[in-house]
Chain A
Amino acid sequence: QSALTQPASVSGSPGQSIAISCTGTSSDVGNYNLVSWYQQHPGKAPKLIIYEVARRPSGVSGRFSGSKSGNTASLTISGLQAEDEADYYCCSYAGSSTFVFGTGTKVTVL
Chain B
Amino acid sequence: EVQLLEFGGGLVQRGGSLKVSCAASGFTFTSYAMKWVRQAPGKGLEWVSGITASGGSTYYADSVKGRFTISRDNSKNTLFLQMNSLRAEDTAVYYCAKTSGNYYEDAFDIWGHGTMVTVSS
* A residues adjacent to B (C-beta < 8 A): 1, 3, 32, 34, 36, 38, 40, 45-48, 51-52, 57, 89, 91, 93, 96-104
Q: A48-B108, A52-B107, A96-B59 are in contact. List 6 more A-B contacts (CB 8 A).
A: A45-B112, A46-B95, A48-B107, A51-B107, A97-B50, A101-B46
Measured CA separation A47–B2 after assembly (Å) = 14
A-B contact number at CB 8 A: 63
Report yes or no: B105 in contact with A101, Cβ–Cβ below 8 A: no
Q: Are B44 and A101 in contact (CB under 8 A)?
A: yes
Q: Is B87 interfacial (CB 8 A cutoff)? A: no
CA distance A53 to B34 in the complex (A): 20
What's the nearest-Cβ distance from chain B to residue A98, in Å?
A: 6
Chain B: residues with Cβ within 8 Å of the partner, total of 23
Nearest CB of A to B116, in Å? 12
- The answer to the question of B113 belonging to the interface, with a C-beta cut-off of 8 Å to chain A, is yes
Q: Which chain B residues border A36 with CB–CB below 8 Å?
A: 107-108
Smallest CB gap from B93: residue in A = A45
Question: In the complex, how many angstroms separate the beta carbon of A88 from the nearest chain B beta carbon?
Answer: 11
